[in-house]
Amino acid sequence: MNVLMIAPPGAGKGTQGVVIAAHFDIPHIATGDLLRDHVARGTDLGRQVRDYLDRGELVPDEVVLTMVREALEATDRRGYVIDGIPRTMDQARALYDIGVEMGSTADVALHLEVDDEELVRRLLARSSKEGRSDDTEGVIRRRLALYYEVTHPILEWYGERGILVSIDAMRPADQVGRQILTALEVVRQMVDGDPEHPRRPIDLTGLGRAFGRTD
């Protein structure tokens, strides 16, 4: 099972990525963890990352994608969960090209959907708990606006490819996790049965109430 996590900040990508990886016994490739690991080990890529961070600049796509490619090569094609990329259409297309080259394109682009006000509430709570005084409501809302401008359009592209699975992530994490695993098991049967058969996007966001959500 090859899974990409697509969601706004605060939706629970990291939490659910760990759940998926454990269930399917596949690596959880989190780009933030990759960056920190390379910096800690002092690799060539890590030194490049540190140089960019020291200058207050974003790490270029080619550096992040090189790290992801190395991580994918280490999976021996037994599947993966990627969390943290793609965040732009350029990244999405580059990641697809890497997958084609390695024979391991994504089976699922998993979209976690959460209302903005709930995202703000979660991120403010996390900021308070972790002592992030600079993570204010204004900063959080700007991050969400950037997500909708830059990342959200990727969903349409994955929908056209037929690999988009949308989940209502407003509910408690354990409930969301159970629905995700149920959906992915169905997708796995489809992929294993006929991987070349055309697929359609799956929208399960309307099942929130049936799975315990109360508005």
Fill in the amino acid letter for 15: T
Which one of 143, 161, 178, 188 is the catalytic residue? Answer: 143
Which one of 50, 69, 87, 161 is the catalytic residue? Answer: 87
142 is catalytic: no
What's the CA angle centered on 37, arms 34 and 43, to 5 degrees? 105
Alpha helices by DSSP H, the chain: 13-24, 31-41, 44-54, 61-73, 89-102, 116-130, 137-146, 154-161, 173-193
69 is catalytic: no
50 is catalytic: no
87 is catalytic: yes
DSSP string, 57-88: -PPPHHHHHHHHHHHHHTTTTS-EEEES---S
126 is catalytic: yes
Which one of 47, 78, 132, 209 is the catalytic residue? Answer: 132
Which one of 69, 121, 122, 126 is the catalytic residue? Answer: 126
Just list the catalytic residues: 13, 87, 126, 132, 143
